[in-house]
Structure 1
Amino acid sequence: MKRDAFNAKNAPQPRGGYAQAVRIEDFSRVLFVSGQIPADSDDVLPTGFEAQARQVWLNVDAQLKAAGMSKADIVKVTMYLSDRHHTMANREIRAEYLGALAPAMTVIIAGIFDESWLLEVEVVAAQ
């Protein structure tokens, strides 16, 4: 698969860890991962934003692996945060998981289905 990131010079530049646009070509599979919640496989919900964020990325990773893919295949991320005060911690933990990968990304502050969930993350991956 060929992947190109674009950050148009005449538009706002990304503010850490993502690209404004990602083009993919010559791919054979696309995976749409539903919003992953911060509970583990036993439905245990960690306490605090940082622990919940790390659990969400573990869940994303599990879905990717189940489909024979990895985080290197992520091309789009949509993150739902329950509170804008989690923005910086979210950015740091996302960077821990994604490393140098810069997918297209949207972060939305929203009321989440379960009030105890502090975030939810969905991704699109392609190979």
Structure 2
Amino acid sequence: MILQPKEKLKKIRKSMFTQEVFSELVAMDQSQYNRREKGRITITDDEWERFAKVLNVDVDKIKEADIPLINITHNHGENDNSINGYEIKVNVPKNIFDIFHAKLDTLISLMSKT
């Protein structure tokens, strides 16, 4: 499962520390921290607390829910007999087309100025 990236955490962390420095301050390997910030691994409550302490902010300022973006599951047949195949579910925001439309309008506006 791939989760939504932790944008609030990343924004505050980047304003103060590089990923390398921050991961050292929270006693975590940089690659492990990177996976958490990108939504590849769930961040535990203890880790949220540790991150907030190092950033000197309330947990509420950085904590975001784990919203799955991509979920990959193995298909099973009846009586749990495996069949060859996987199911991939991709969750997108309900307003995805509004977001695309706004970005397209911005792009058209920028291109028309040249």
TM range (shorter): under 0.3
Please tell me whether Structure 1 or Structure 2 has the larger radius of gyration of its CA atoms: 2
TM value normalised by structure 1:
0.21
Q: Hey, which of these two has a bigger chunk of helix by percent?
A: 2
Q: Hey, which of these two has a bigger chunk of strand by percent?
A: 1
TM value normalised by structure 2:
0.23
Q: Looking at both structures, which has the greater relative contact order when contacts are Cα pairs under 8 Å and sequence separation is at least 6?
A: 1
